[in-house]
Amino acid sequence: MNKPSIIIHQARWIVPVTGPVIEAGAVAIADGHIRAVGPAADLRRQPWDAWEDHGDGAIMPALVNAHTHLELTALRGRIAAQERWQDWLSAALAEMATLTLEDLQAGAAAGIAELRRFGTGLVAEISNTGLSLPALAKSGLEFCYFFECLGFDLTGAGPLETGFPIFAAPAALTLTNFSAAAHAPYSVSAPLCQRIAAWNRSHGRPSAVHLAESREEERFLQTGGGFFRSLLMLRGRWRPDFQPPGVSPAHYLDSLGFFAGPALAAHGVWLDAADRKLLARRGARVVLCPRSNLFTGTGLPNLTALEADGVRLALGTDSLASNHDLNLFRELEVLREQFPAVPPGRLVRLATLNGAAALGREADLGSLDPGKRAALLLVPVDAGAGDFWDALLAAGAMGEVRWLSPPKETCHA
Ligand SMILES: [Zn+2]
């Protein structure tokens, strides 16, 4: 058997994520995996077959988008940013109702190509139809698939497959990256939340949900009234026997056992100290989607408090119903701007290693460490006299990202 050839990629900066930035560094890859990372001078002394010097650039691991809805990519530019979250949701629901199956399918394909173009190598896709699954499966992009259930009025018991037959389909049973998601505490009944969590638990899969995205969510669970009651009535989903639990969204889901297993909770904008401590204790992952939060007018999550309370965080774009593009570097730029005291290397970790860990893939993605998959980006960095991290994020935000590995031809997106 032939020995795999060793290719060295050298650049002015290497961003391993698990360690400090290496100047004049290099990454050795062989057989699709990272073999060594370190100063270029050290790697020169080891065996290699091909050497590529990329000059003034930064080599970093592929990004991880831990929350999006690819099927909604066709909504780009069709919903205006709003000042009140309720106005955004009303506008988004009206536009979603106009999407055809072809729009959803075309959106999924366009979204996958866009993720790849902006340097995302692993994505958590939240689907309502299953239509994005074949597109992802053939794309070469790494993914975790969450089929999202809704049903405030679905109070029946029994296995999740009763009512959601997709969970009895071969794809759901054989793909270990296929999970069940609950849309949100205001749109899924307590019994349905429990059935979703139970299905994931029995199949060893993580759960996902939108949590504490708007203040109205808390109000609804405290009082049973407000915007969501009107919305549920309008959509014919209201249940007159509904008793508000009188607790926060995080405590409510926890009382249903939702955080007993691995779980991703998107947004987490309106979490108080008790919520944050609870989620930290449970090990739940809060997936921040800051540009979506600004777009919908709900406000920004309190990154400082979330970190201080030990909540495990990741980063996502959410869908193009509430964002301009699927570029995670732009999410990082917003966090950098809004939370200047957080070291930028730690922000980059949110979009790489933390995301991989949230999706159970930290053993092979999210950082440049020997043994991991060689999913490498080259970002041209023109730091000049300025800050390295700001230059890196700016170049990524402009879409100036090149894939070094895997080579383009192995990805069909
Ligand atoms: Zn979402």
Tokens of 323: 């964002």
Q: Quick one: average pLDDT of 197-203?
A: 97
- In the DSSP assignment, the letter for residue 3 is P
Distance 161 CA to ligand 1 centre (A): 23
Q: Quick one: average pLDDT of 300-319?
A: 98
CB 191 within 8 A of CB 154: yes
Between the alpha carbon of residue 214 and those of residues 124, 211, 221, the distances in Å are: 22, 8, 12
CB 293 within 8 A of CB 231: no
Distance 406 CA to ligand 1 centre (A): 28
β-strand pairing of 120-127 with 63-68: parallel
Distance 68 CA to ligand 1 centre (A): 6
**Least confident interval from 22-36, 243-257, 267-281, 374-388:** 374-388
pLDDT at 37: 98
CB 176 within 8 A of CB 165: no
Query: Has residue 384 got a pLDDT over 80?
Result: no
Distance 318 CA to ligand 1 centre (A): 5
Distance 92 CA to ligand 1 centre (A): 12
Distance 342 CA to ligand 1 centre (A): 25
β-strand pairing of 6-14 with 22-30: antiparallel
Distance 274 CA to ligand 1 centre (A): 24
Alpha carbons 76 and 317: distance in angstroms, whole number: 13
- What band does 8 get if pLDDT is binned at 50, 70 and 90? very high
Distance 27 CA to ligand 1 centre (A): 35
Distance 211 CA to ligand 1 centre (A): 10
Distance 323 CA to ligand 1 centre (A): 11
pLDDT at 407: 61
Q: Quick one: average pLDDT of 6-10?
A: 98
Query: Has residue 349 got a pLDDT over 60?
Result: yes
- What band does 314 get if pLDDT is binned at 50, 70 and 90? very high
Query: Has residue 290 got a pLDDT over 90?
Result: yes
Q: Quick one: average pLDDT of 299-323?
A: 98
Which residues, including other chains, have CB under 8 Å from residue 125's CB and lie 6 or more apart? 68, 69, 70, 132, 136, 143, 144, 145, 146
- What band does 412 get if pLDDT is binned at 50, 70 and 90? very low
Distance 375 CA to ligand 1 centre (A): 26
Alpha carbons 382 and 380: distance in angstroms, whole number: 7
Q: Quick one: average pLDDT of 202-210?
A: 98
Tokens of 157: 């018991």
Distance 127 CA to ligand 1 centre (A): 10
Distance 356 CA to ligand 1 centre (A): 18
Between the alpha carbon of residue 193 and those of residues 124, 125, 151, 207, 209, the distances in Å are: 19, 19, 9, 10, 10
Distance 352 CA to ligand 1 centre (A): 19
- What band does 388 get if pLDDT is binned at 50, 70 and 90? very high
Closest by Cα among 128, 140, 120 to 60: 120
Domains, in order of start, for the chain: 6-61+368-410 (2.30.40.10), 63-358 (3.20.20.140)
Q: Quick one: average pLDDT of 69-79?
A: 96
Q: What percent of the chain has pLDDT over 90?
A: 96
Q: Where are the alpha helices (DSSP H) in 45-131?
A: 85-96, 101-117
Q: Quick one: average pLDDT of 295-312?
A: 98
Distance 277 CA to ligand 1 centre (A): 23
CB 377 within 8 A of CB 405: no
- What band does 382 get if pLDDT is binned at 50, 70 and 90? confident
In this structure, what are the phi and psi dihedrals at residue 390, rounded to the nearest 5 degrees?
A: -60, -40
For residue range 125-156, what is the model confidence (pLDDT) as tens digits?
999 999 999 999 999 999 999 999 999 999 99
pLDDT at 3: 80
**Average pLDDT across the chain, whole number:** 96
Q: Quick one: average pLDDT of 162-187?
A: 96
Query: Has residue 4 got a pLDDT over 90?
Result: no
pLDDT at 413: 41
pLDDT at 279: 98
Q: What percent of the chain has pLDDT over 70?
A: 98
pLDDT at 223: 97
Tokens of 44: 């020169």
